Amino acid sequence: MIILDGKTLSQKILDDLKLKISNFKLKPTLDIIIVGTDSASQKYVALKQQKAQSIGISGNVHQLSESSTTADLLSLVNKLNKDDSITAFMVQLPLPSQIDTEKVLANIDHKKDADGLNPFNLGLLFQKGSTGIASATACGIIKLLEEYKIDISGKNAVIIGRSSEVSIPLFALLLGKNSTVTICHSHTQNLKEICQKADILISAVGKPKFLTKDFIREGAVVIDVGFGTDSNGQVSGDFDFDQVSKIASFITPVPGGVGPMTIASLLFNTVQIAKN
């Protein structure tokens, strides 16, 4: 079994980006909108800002209160859309339940959409030869598979989860690379049997240790997007790592797999936008 080391690859990507940026006349910027005080979201935003600064990307964090409305968000999004000094920005998800997340994402100028979550960019992913900006998490997973020279073409890929932030863009990217892709969700029947047929099995559910060894075909490539804490208070992904790592050919650890790749891809997108 080989560990898909997102931490090392993400640092390599950041080093490359730093070098690229040092040769740019117009420096890329990344602003981040965050709503509320959820500690995990605050931590992610601080990390994104710190990594951005470390490679020469400046930007502001816009902190809005937990009770903000969709109109408050739209007003800030429109302000950032119009500000020529800002090359890219993103909205940290999830947003509080009173906010219409889809509407907010749809209003981000698709040319400044660092996280690749605007529906226009999402739609472009389904076009052949697309140059759209891909969801940072989905894009990070593809970079990880490619780094380890894992065959995608013709393989059975199964994605558990159907969020438009992770799973749907990943579906489009894998399909574009000639994989045969199946999407599963909470209404899927025979989940175990479908997973057992996967050459590449990806989970983005958010239920720690939900997937045991019984779900995995021997030699499968396992990608764990899930992030949570198990019953012992330990950080865990959707897969039971101890069991699954014994039969997988490749597996992402949690932490240190998909998470750092998401940040590296976010900054990759930010640099790409500035270049465009």
Site residues (CB under 6 A) for ligand NAP?
137, 160-163, 165-167, 184-188, 191, 204-206, 225-228, 258-259, 262
Q: Which residue is nearest to ligand NAP (CB)?
A: 206
Cβ 195 to ligand NAP, closest distance in Å? 10
User: φ, ψ for residue 274 (rounded to 5)?
Assistant: -65, -40
Q: Annotated catalytic, 84? A: no
Query: What DSSP character marks residue 108?
Result: S
Cβ 82 to ligand NAP, closest distance in Å? 29
Q: How many CB atoms lie within 10 A of CB 17?
A: 23
Query: What DSSP character marks residue 57?
Result: -
Q: How many residues does the chain have?
A: 276
Closer of 87 and 163 to ligand NAP (Cβ): 163
Closer of 157 and 258 to ligand NAP (Cβ): 258
Cβ 249 to ligand NAP, closest distance in Å? 21
Selected catalytic residue, list 31, 48, 49, 272: 48
Closer of 86 and 172 to ligand NAP (Cβ): 172
Cβ 96 to ligand NAP, closest distance in Å? 15
Closer of 111 and 162 to ligand NAP (Cβ): 162
Q: For residues 29 and 84, what is the distance between their CA atoms, to the nearest angstrom? A: 11
Please name the helix (run of DSSP H) or strand (run of DSSP E) that holds residue 58, with its range, or none: none
Q: Annotated catalytic, 92? A: yes
Selected catalytic residue, list 5, 31, 113, 115: 115
Closer of 86 and 137 to ligand NAP (Cβ): 137
Q: Quick check: 199 and 221 in contact, CB under 8 A?
A: yes
Q: Quick check: 133 and 263 in contact, CB under 8 A?
A: no
**Alpha helix ranges (H) inside 55-202:** 70-82, 101-106, 119-124, 136-147, 167-176, 191-196
Cβ 268 to ligand NAP, closest distance in Å? 14
Please name the helix (run of DSSP H) or strand (run of DSSP E) that holds residue 21, with its range, or none: helix 6-22
Q: How many CB atoms lie within 10 A of CB 109?
A: 16
Q: Could you tell me the sign of the dihedral formed by the alpha carbons of 233, 236, 238, 241, in that order?
A: negative
Closer of 86 and 267 to ligand NAP (Cβ): 267
Cβ 162 to ligand NAP, closest distance in Å? 4
Q: For residues 276 and 273, what is the distance between their CA atoms, to the nearest angstrom? A: 5
- Angle at which helices 6-22 and 136-147 cross, to 10°: 110
Selected catalytic residue, list 92, 209, 224, 238: 92
Q: Annotated catalytic, 196? A: no
Hey, which residues are catalytic here?
48, 92, 115
